[in-house]
Amino acid sequence: MYSLDTSGFLDAWTRHYPPDTFPAFWDRMDAAACAGKIKVSEEVVHELEKKDDGAADWIKARPWMIVATDESIQEKVKEILAAHPRLINASKSRSGGDPFVIAVAAVHGYAVVTGELPSGSPKRPRIPDVCTGMAIPCQNLLEFVRSQGWRF
């Protein structure tokens, strides 16, 4: 099971496998969503809604893949931000969804899929840095595709 970050989803949607060019990829993503293998925090949906490219609509058409921010997620987000307060930066619109992506993975025992690269700096931690510190598996989109055994 995987918790997808906004950047991981957008890597697929706009950068590498746009639906108009790679419908087979999106058939596989749909099957993975239907099988419960991929999930997104509702915060990821909110981030995707800020873009007008159809990505949020694709997810909203599959409500079973959206993880609501319940009490266990909220508590884990607090824990993550206490340990990594610079993960988000509201003044610079730095991703407020990141701790929720990690919290979904931590609470449910999922891996994270993100387009982010580690910063290696506690002053500017990114999703892979936090995942490493919390022993949460973290991979990029290509690693996810390979882990699924998908061939196109």
Residue type, 12: A
Number of structural domains found in the chain? 1
pTM here is 0.93
User: What SS3 state is found at 113?
Assistant: strand
Q: Are 2 and 37 in contact, with CB atoms under 8 Å apart?
A: yes
The pLDDT tens digits along the chain (152 residues) read 999 999 999 999 999 999 999 999 999 999 999 999 999 999 999 999 988 789 999 999 999 999 999 999 999 999 999 999 989 876 555 568 999 999 999 999 999 999 999 999 888 899 999 999 999 999 999 999 999 999 98
111 forms bridges with which residues in the sheet?
2
Most distant CA pair in the chain, distance: 42
CATH number of the domain where residue 93 is located: 3.40.50.1010
Range of 121's domain? 2-148
